Amino acid sequence: MSAFLEVKNLSVAFPTEDGIVQAVDSLSFSVEKGKTLGIVGESGSGKSVTSLAILGLQKGSKAQVSGEIWVDGNEIISSSESEVRKLRGKAMSMIFQDALAALHPYYTVGHQIAEAYLVHNKVSKKVAAARAVEMLDRVGIPEPHKRVNDYPHQFSGGMRQRAMIAMALSCNPSLLIADEPTTALDVTVQAQILELLRDLQKEFGTAIILITHDLGVVAEIADDILLMYAGKQIEFGTVRDVLQVPQHPYAWGLLTSIPRLTGDPNLALTAIQGAPPSLISVPSGCAFHPRCTYVENVGAACANIIPELLPVSEGKHHSVRCHMSANVREGIFANQVGPQL
């Protein structure tokens, strides 16, 4: 299956008063139809900026975007705004974290879904309205013919997010980007929404990019994980690879520091010291080195040379950006990290 989305060396920089903020640096990845890629990172990692770049939403702003983004045979970065507009909502859609802020407060939900449909389909308003009801039904909203005339603030958080999904899928896009879709929701509602996304993907074969900071969410529905730190991709692999045999010290830190429902709760969580860097002054060399406890295994390179993204071993799908040799990493993982997971 050829990739529906292919990103090659994407870089996004923002000129600010304090200097250039390199939000994304040479990012490359691809997503196939029917598959889910989880882009994981904390604040400042560049994950949201990436998603906006894929939709070309930074065109016309001060952002400096370079590289190539191929969506269904169309290159986004070099295309004009009007060319990309044809793809937005049709070939690729996006849903956002705060559904209440992301929906227009003055128009009914039905109107907004119909609007999304009418942008790309020359049909009558009646047909579009019917489509809106159909979509609300598909995403599991009860009494859709009634709720279609409600305003966003009249929906509960979970229902609102479903409505946004309905709107995003109204034109059957092949790629859905979900930016922290469940972060603002209760955990029981989050489970419902993730299940809905999984079901819809099975039904329509949509490629999904799920952006999140929550490793549990990624484990639930992603096939692959792309871990980002300070604008760079630092680890990539299947969900099993990255969560069960992680290679990057940052991934180790994350996985050993998150509280879980299993394991000994009396043990102190192994926190990562320090804080995610400000993108205006990204540390030299490996951006993670000030917080990394394994620098001594490598030496001066960590602070001076940016490591390459390399496969963990010959030909493997799993890659990591770290100076430590594979042997050293394996050793550390086996002795220190693995037992904690």
Partner 1 sequence: MLKYTLRRIVSGTLVLGIVSAIVFSIFYILPSDPARLACGKSCTPELVARIQVALELDQSLPVQYGRFIKGIFVGRTYLENTDAARECGAPCLGYSYQNDLPVTELLVDRLPATLSIAVGASILWLLIGLSSGILSALRRGTWIDRTSQGFALAAASLQIYFVGLVLQFIFVDKLAWLPMPGYTSPFDYPLDWAKQMVLPWVTLAFLLSAIYSRLTRSGMIETMGEDFVRTARAKGLSSRDINLKHVLRAAMTPIVTVFGLDLGSLLGGAVITEYVFNIPGLGKLSTEAVTNLDLPVVTGTVLFAAFFIITANIVVDLLYSALDPKVRLT
Partner 2 sequence: MTSVNNPILSVQGLTKHFPGGRDGFFGKRDVVQAVDGVNFEVAAGEALGLVGESGCGKSTTGRLITRLLEPTAGTVTFEGQDISHFSNSQMRPIRTQLQMIFQDPYASLNPRHTVGTIVSTPFKINKITPEGGVKRRVQEILEIVGLNPEHYNRYPHEFSGGQRQRIGIARALALRPKLIVADEPVSALDVSIQAQIINLMKDLQKDFGLTFVFIAHDLAVVRHFAQRVAVMYLGNIVEIADRDTLYATPKHPYTKALLSAVPEADPDAIGARERIRLTGDVPNPINPPSGCRFRTRCWKAAEICATQPPALLQIGKTQVACHFPE
Instruction: State the Cα–Cα distance between residues 104 and 95, nearest whole angstrom.
Output: 14
Instruction: State the Cα–Cα distance between residues 23 and 139, nearest whole angstrom.
Output: 34
237 binds partner 2 (CB under 8 A): no
Among the listed ranges 93-101, 220-228, 294-302, 321-329, the one in contact with partner 1 (CB under 8 A) is: 93-101
Q: DSSP assignment of 75-88, as one string?
A: ESTTS-HHHHHHHB
Which residue from 106, 187, 266, 267 is in contact with partner 1, where contact means CB under 8 A? Answer: 106
AA letter at 162: R
Pick one of partner 1, partner 2, none as the site partner of residue 189 (Cβ within 5 to 8 A by kind). partner 2
164 binds partner 2 (CB under 8 A): no
Cβ-Cβ contacts under 8 Å for 286 (sequence gap 6 or more): 292, 302, 303, 305, 306, 307, 321, 322, 323
Instruction: Report phi then psi at 76, rounded to 5.
Output: -80, -45
CB of 324 to partner 2, least distance (A): 19
Instruction: State the Cα–Cα distance between residues 70 and 63, nearest whole angstrom.
Output: 19
Which residue from 76, 94, 159, 210 is in contact with partner 1, where contact means CB under 8 A? Answer: 94
* Cβ nearer to partner 2, comparing 38 with 173: 38
Cβ count near 71 (within 10 Å): 26
273 binds partner 2 (CB under 8 A): yes
Strands 224-229 and 232-238: antiparallel
Instruction: State the Cα–Cα distance between residues 148 and 136, nearest whole angstrom.
Output: 8
125 binds partner 1 (CB under 8 A): no
Given the rule CB under 8 A, which residues bind partner 1?
55, 57, 85-90, 93-94, 96, 98, 101-106, 115-116, 119-120, 151, 153, 164, 167
Given the rule CB under 8 A, which residues bind partner 2?
42-43, 142, 156-159, 186-192, 194-195, 213-220, 239-240, 243-244, 253-255, 257-262, 265, 268-273, 275-276, 341
